[in-house]
Chain A
């Protein structure tokens, strides 16, 4: 199975900061990567798919980049609503795998 890692595991930032989260795959997954946001007690929400395509209704301050084995989620100007946990997920193989998550906290 393809293994996914994320860094950092926790990120402390302030409103207005530009933040980036890195996701790495154990083998090439082309562009078949998605990013999700999850808030406590809520279901995950799709932010990005195909590495860089914005999900429906997702604010433009979110962006994704990368291909192959290394990917990045960037939030250009952190807003109060963005404090949450973020997961990457590969779907290159029909057996999907998620990264362990990155918690974005208020500094």
Chain B
């Protein structure tokens, strides 16, 4: 069964850091790009970042560029989102998603999300 399991969310103070993880199973991990999408409480979906299947290319939304870093570890079938200098507006449910291709594409598999709350 194809599955994505996010972890690492929690309550963090503004300006601090947090690292999210997404463990993948049931498919050839290196064959697909992977993406993080977030959803603030009561709001719509916001694309955050994508990493290519090879890990050689990364893409970021302007709202997180320079603060967040996406990476992947093929040996662990895991994608990460390192979030630095967190702000209140980063509070959201963070979803990990699998792209249809090795390059950025539509997202066919989603995890259940991990909640990040930025508050003092």
Identify which of residues 79-120 in chain B touch chain A, using a CB-to-CB cut-off of 8 Å: 95, 100, 103-108, 110-113
Q: Is the interface of A mostly helix, strand, loop or mixed?
A: loop
CB <8 Å contact, A94 and B50 = yes
CB <8 Å contact, B105 and A91 = yes
Q: Chain A CB within 10 Å — which of B35, B100, B113 has the most?
A: B100
Contact of A43 among B95, B103, B104, B105 (CB under 8 A): B95
Q: Chain A CB within 10 Å — which of B103, B110, B113 has the most?
A: B110
List B contacts of A55 (CB < 8 A).
108
A-B contacts, CB under 8 A, total: 59
The reply to whether the CB of A89 lies closer than 8 angstroms to some CB of chain B is yes
Chain A nearest CB: distance from B108 CB in Å? Answer: 5
Complex formed: what's the CA distance from A54 to B105 in Å?
15
Quick one: CB contact mask for A16-40 with B, threshold 8 Å, 1 for yes? 0000000000000000001010100
The reply to whether the CB of B11 lies closer than 8 angstroms to some CB of chain A is no
For chain A, the bracket of interface size reads 20 to 34
List A contacts of B47 (CB < 8 A).
89, 95-98
List A contacts of B35 (CB < 8 A).
96
The reply to whether the CB of B44 lies closer than 8 angstroms to some CB of chain A is yes
Complex formed: what's the CA distance from A49 to B104 in Å?
13
CB <8 Å contact, B45 and A46 = no
The reply to whether the CB of A1 lies closer than 8 angstroms to some CB of chain B is yes
CB <8 Å contact, A46 and B107 = yes
Chain B nearest CB: distance from A56 CB in Å? Answer: 7
30 A-B residue pairs with CB within 8 Å: A34-B106, A34-B107, A36-B45, A36-B107, A43-B95, A43-B111, A43-B113, A44-B37, A44-B95, A44-B107, A46-B108, A49-B100, A50-B106, A87-B44, A89-B107, A91-B104, A91-B105, A94-B57, A94-B59, A94-B103, A95-B47, A95-B59, A95-B60, A95-B61, A96-B50, A96-B104, A97-B47, A98-B46, A98-B47, A100-B44
| In the A-B complex, the 9 residue pairs with the closest CB atoms | A34-B106, A43-B110, A49-B106, A96-B47, A98-B45, A94-B104, A101-B44, A94-B59, A46-B108
